[in-house]
Structures are given as C-alpha cells and as structure tokens.
Amino acid sequence: MIDAKPTLIVRNATPNDIPNILRLCLKVYDEKLSYTSDQVRGHMNVFPKGQFVAVYQDAVVGYCATFRTDEATAFHSHTWAEITGGGYASRHDPDGDWLYGMEVCVDSGHRGLRIGQRLYNARKALAVGLNLKGIVFGGRIPGLARRWRSVGSAEAYVEAVADKRLRDTVLSFQLRNGFELHGILPKYLPFDKESKGYAAHLVWRNARRTESRLLTTQQRGQLPDTVRIGVIQYQQRRIASFEEFRQQVEYFIDALANYKADFAVLPELFSLQLLSIENEQIPAREAIARLTQYTEQLKKMLSELAVNYNINIIGGSHPTRGENDSIQNVCYICLRDGSIHSQAKIHPTPNERYWWNIQGGSELSVIMTDCGPIGVNICYDCEFPELARHLVDQGMLMLFVPFCTDERKSYLRVRYCGQARAVENQCYVILAGNVGNLPKVDNMDIQYAQSCILSPCDFPFARDGVAADTTPNVEMVALADLRLDILAQARRSGTVQNLKDRRFDLYSVSWLPSFAALPDLP
C-alpha cells in the first residue's frame, strides 16, 4: 500500500482558477487592494502563458501574474498602475522582449513550502523558453518605513540591503534569487505604507538568450490570422409558431455557415417577433413578462444551431427574468464548442425602463472564444465609452453590438459611437440591427438599421473604417474577414497608438468589484 503524499505543483492558471485566486488575494490583501475577477481574467486573456498558480493539495496557495513589455517601457520610471494598465495587464506587448513581474501572491499559512521561489522559477523558465532578455519588476521594500530615520532615503536603504548591512524580508529574498538593482521607483505603490510608496527596480537577465528572431503571436499559435464575421440584418414580421421562428433564424445561420463564417451576429431583441404568434395587443409590461417564458427554449435553439453548423452565435438579446423577479435584456453567446455565455445590458434606455421595466446588469466581462477574446455591448451600452475600455483592458479584440433602433437619428447615435469605440480602443466593432415592423408590439412598431462591421481608422484597414455594411432597412447579411494580426500590428506600431499611449498616471477605468458574488468554498 502506498501512502498518499501531499502534492505541490506550479502550473499555468486557467479561468476555472479565478474564484480561488480571488479568495487568495482577499486573504493576502484587503478588499480595496485585491484584484477583481475581470482583472484576473484580463491577465489570462492577454497572456495565458504568463499566469501561474501554485496548488497544494488541490488548494490554490500562490498566484503569479506577468506580461511582456518593451525595453524602453520596462526601464523607464513608472508606477505599478501605469505599467500594468490599472491592474489588467492591458499594456501587454506580444513582441516585448522583457517579462514584467506584475504580482506574486502567497498564502501566509504555507510560506514554509517555498512557494514564492517556485513561482519565480516558473517566471525564469518562461523568460528562457520565450528567448526574452529577462525579467523586470518593482519590488516592495517593507523595512523602509521602520528604518527611515536611520537611513534617510530609499536609495540609501536599498544600498544597505544590497551590501548586506541591513536585511529586508522581500528585497533580500529577491537579491538571493539572482535579481539585480536597477534603481528606485518612487510612488510605485502609494498605498504601501511599509515601503513609503517606493519600490526597488529589479532586473534578472537571461544568460541563455540568443539573438534569433522572435516568433510572432500567430506563429506561436495563439490566434487565427483571419476571422470571418457574418452580420444578420433581421426583418421583424408576423409568425405563427416558435418553429417558424426557428426556421427563419436557422436559414441565416445555415447561409453563413456555408460561407464558413466564424461568427453569426443577430440583433438586439430580435426574439420580440415571438409576441406576434398570438397577434393581439398586449400591455407592454405584460408582453415582456410573457416573452421571458421563451428564454430556455431560445438558449437551447441557439446552442444547437451553433454546434450543428459549427459557428459562434452572438444571440442578439432577449428579455430574461433574473433575481428578485426583475427582467434584464440579455445577450446569449452560444459558441460552437457547446458553451453558453451571457451578457446583460448595463444601461437600459429610458423607453425600456418606462415601457418594459427593464433593469440594468452589473457585470461586464470578456468571453474567450476560439477566435480570441470578445465583448458585447448591447445597443445603448455602446454609447458609454467606459464599458468598451473596461472590456479592452481584459483583452478584448472584437466588440459585438446588437442593436434595435426606431429611426435614423437613433441608429446614428449607435453607429457613430461604435466607430469611436473602434478608433479609441483599436478593436473591431460589429453592429447588427432589426428592420421591418411588429404593429401590435409596443415600442417595436418601426425599425431602422444599417448593420456594419467597423475597424480602426489607419492604413492597414478599410479606407473609411468600414469593413462591410448593409443596405439600410433591407433584410440581408454582410460578411467581412477581419485580420487579427493587423490589429496587433496597429496597436503596437500604428500611426496612432491609443492603447499604448494612455496616461495611467492621470486616469483609468475602475470597475467596482462585487465580492458578494464570489461562491463559497465547499
């Protein structure tokens, strides 16, 4: 008989680890300083190879976050918030030749297991494996405040620690592990009172690096070069049954699948067509409540179509009953691997609130697909730039905007804002809207749409920033091939570099975490 021994492994973090990583961070830091699920998801989306967890007897007891950066950025004076993009690792440069150490977090109850050293070794192995120049980061110096009167400055303190005249619990450990002092980073973590806000600027150089050309992101097999998008400009018309509704939707999914599209995009509230089955005037709030009864049936239909036709479906949106009997406007994203994701509309319009009593959602996260990380802003949400910026901080490359607008002015608000989101976030934005009419459905009696696929405005993209669009108010589809490699190139070295040039020293988007949503441990 062989006795089971405790196991300790270090491996790449996965999305399934996020709840346990959050619990670890909450244990080590207080709520104000801990990460949010969106931030940790952002780390994994932008650089999955660079995130590690230490697992001891099936419990996450350590977390390590890294990203790649260029040499000039790595060695220029910076704060933690500036270089990490507000904690999302959103300034990750896929072709950067230095690995930046953003976080090492260890459960204090397991410090005797040398978890920190194991995580640092994983970082070093990653830097060697990717043929990078080395590792850079800002390290805490928690003994500084205690010794301030005797040393007089942060520079004098780290020099004394380097000469072994003083001992610092963190810096001494870093120096023993082969890191060298490059300098001091003032105001690196202003809330770190023990370090008086300072950090030691540390570097580890990869002695095994060769000058061979680094592989591109696509050569490393992370993402496809091209993604084919199919937008469905869907006509609202009377139907007699759910089966007839399915036949109409399936017709378009089948057509786009024949064109080998990776995504099929349906409009916001396209399922209101189901209210025409009974063909009677129903009070607005009663009608929306009745429509929620189709939620599970709709999700099942979209998921079956996604799997059967091997296509990812952005399922427009559908009124869905949630907590406390409230109703939200929810987009169901059904991927061809059979998984179903959801995104509630954050900002209901005044009409939605008045006529249908629609309530806004409170969570906004990217969704990882086989074509890279995507985000969804339902119609009005696109008019709030903070939302798209929050998604791009998590690694989003394509923003899908199902919309439903009654006339041209309303449509243009969404269209112009969609184009702005594409420019300022250097991402693709895809709009899909309804046409036709439903005479006996309040707030859906007329429609205006010109669906489109938008790009940033720079030399590698379509001249007007429009990869494809439709004829206004005509039921049809639009197709476009979107190059993800060109998107990465524009972010890195375009005429303008909006994401790279953000002033994190002046502003950032901060999403308030909801720790109550964290599930309890079994």
One-letter amino acid for residue 311 of the chain:
I
pLDDT at 5: 60
**CA of 83: how far to CAs of 13, 70, 508, in Å?**
21, 11, 12
pLDDT at res. 282: 74
With beta carbons less than 8 A apart as the criterion, state whether 206 and 127 touch. yes
Check pLDDT > 50 for residue 213.
Answer: no
Closest by CA to 453, choosing from 231, 223, 225, is: 231
Q: What is the pLDDT of residue 514?
A: 63
Helix (H) or strand (E) holding 181: strand 180-185
* pLDDT band at residue 214 under the 50/70/90 scheme: very low
For 409-455, the pLDDT digits (tens) are 999 999 999 999 999 999 999 999 999 988 777 667 789 999 999 99
- Tally: H helices and E strands in the chain: 15, 21
Predicted pLDDT of residue 6: 63
Give residue 1's pLDDT: 44
Among residues 268, 352, 383, 475, the one annotated as catalytic is 268
**pLDDT for res 219:** 38
- Report the distance separating Cα 356 and Cα 326, nearest Å: 11
H or E segment and range at residue 22: helix 18-28
- This prediction has a pTM of 0.87
Q: What are phi and psi of 160, to 5 degrees?
A: -65, -40
Kindly state the average pLDDT of the residues 306-324: 94
Question: Looking at 64, 105, 379, 382, which residue is catalytic?
Answer: 379
**29 pLDDT above the threshold of 90:** no
What average pLDDT does this structure show over 485-504? 92
Q: Is residue 220 predicted with pLDDT exceeding 80?
A: no
Amino acid identity of 248? Answer: Q
**Measuring CA to CA, which residue among 479, 402, 468 is closest to residue 434?**
402
Q: What are phi and psi of 230, to 5 degrees?
A: -120, 120
Q: Tokens 């900002």, residue?
A: 347
Query: Which residues are registered as beta bridge partners of 429?
Result: 399, 454
Q: Which two tokens stand for residue 201?
A: 């600027």
Q: What is the mean pLDDT of residues 138-157?
A: 96
Confidence of residue 521 (pLDDT cuts 50, 70, 90): very low
For 194, the token pair is 């023990």
459-472: burial string, b at 16+ Cβ within 10 Å, e else: eebeeebbbbbbee
pLDDT for 383-414, tens place per residue? 999 999 999 999 999 999 999 999 999 999 99
**What DSSP assignment string belongs to 394-457?**
TT--EEEEEE--SSHHHHHHHHHHHHHHHHHHT-EEEEEEEEE--TTSTT-S------EEE--S
Nearest to 103 by CA among 47, 158, 58, 159: 47
Q: How far apart are CA 515 and CA 285, in angstroms?
A: 32
**Coil, helix or strand for 179?**
coil
379 is catalytic: yes
Residue 221 predicted with pLDDT over 60: no
Q: Residue 345 catalytic? A: yes
Q: Are strands 226-236 and 476-483 parallel, antiparallel or unpaired?
A: antiparallel
Sheet holding 51-56, edge to edge: 8-12, 51-56, 59-69, 98-106, 134-139, 199-205, 180-185
pLDDT at 87 over 60: yes
Q: How far is CA 343 from CA 292, 329, 360, 368, 428, in A?
A: 16, 9, 11, 13, 18
Q: Is the pLDDT of residue 74 over 80?
A: yes
Give 212's DSSP letter: P
Say whether 159 is catalytic: no
Dist CA 306 CA 258 (whole Å) = 13
Percent of the chain with pLDDT over 90: 80
Name which of 71-85, 214-228, 379-393 the model is least confident about.
Answer: 214-228
Q: Report how far apart, in Å, the C-alpha atoms of 147 and of each of 165, 176, 187, 195, 358 are.
A: 12, 21, 18, 10, 58
CA 505/CA 502 separation, integer angstroms: 9
Exposed (0-12), middle (13-18) or buried (19+): which is 419, by Cβ within 10 Å? Answer: buried
Q: What pLDDT is recorded for position 190? A: 93
pLDDT at 111 over 90: no
User: Could you tell me how far CA 101 lies from the centroid of its own chain?
Assistant: 20
Distances 337 to 72, 267, 311, 316 between C-alpha atoms, Å = 41, 22, 9, 19
CA angle 54, 393, 398 (to 5 degrees): 115
* Given the residues 64, 82, 345, 383, the one annotated as active site: 345
- The H or E element that residue 491 is part of is helix 484-493
Distance of alpha carbon 495 from alpha carbon 492, whole angstroms: 10
Average pLDDT, integer, range 328-348: 97
pLDDT at 4: 54
